[in-house]
């Protein structure tokens, strides 16, 4: 008895959507500052690499670390 009620309730929802012509929405990637997520990831990786290089150079200049002599 309860199974029949669940089937009827589930069927009526889909019938109403088809009757009224409900369309499914296509999700588009979120665009922030005119860039796609992949482009923002590449920019973030490049900025991280620049920060690492500049901080290493700063440590070398201030003689906090020294390159090994071969």
**DSSP annotation string for 18-67:** HHHT--PPPP----BTTB-HHHHHHHHHHHHHHHHHHHHHHHHHTTSS-P
What pLDDT shows up at residue 58? Answer: 96
Q: Is 66 helix (H, G, I), strand (E, B) or coil?
A: coil
Q: Could you read off the pLDDT tens digit of each residue along the chain, which spans 70 residues?
A: 666 766 766 655 555 555 565 566 777 767 778 888 999 999 999 999 999 999 999 999 999 999 888 6
What pLDDT shows up at residue 29? Answer: 67
Q: Is 6 exposed, middle or buried (0-12, 13-18, 19+ CB in 10 A)?
A: exposed
What pLDDT shows up at residue 4? Answer: 73
Check if the beta carbon of residue 52 is closer than 8 Å to that of residue 46.
no
């Amino acid at each position: 008895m309860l199974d029949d009620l669940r089937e009827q309730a589930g069927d009526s929802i889909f019938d109403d959507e088809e009757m009224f012509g409900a369309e499914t929405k296509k999700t588009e990637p979120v665009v922030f500052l005119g860039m796609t997520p992949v482009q923002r990831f590449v920019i973030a990786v490049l900025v991280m690499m620049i920060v690492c290089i500049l901080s290493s150079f700063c440590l070398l200049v201030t003689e906090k670390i020294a390159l090994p002599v071969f």
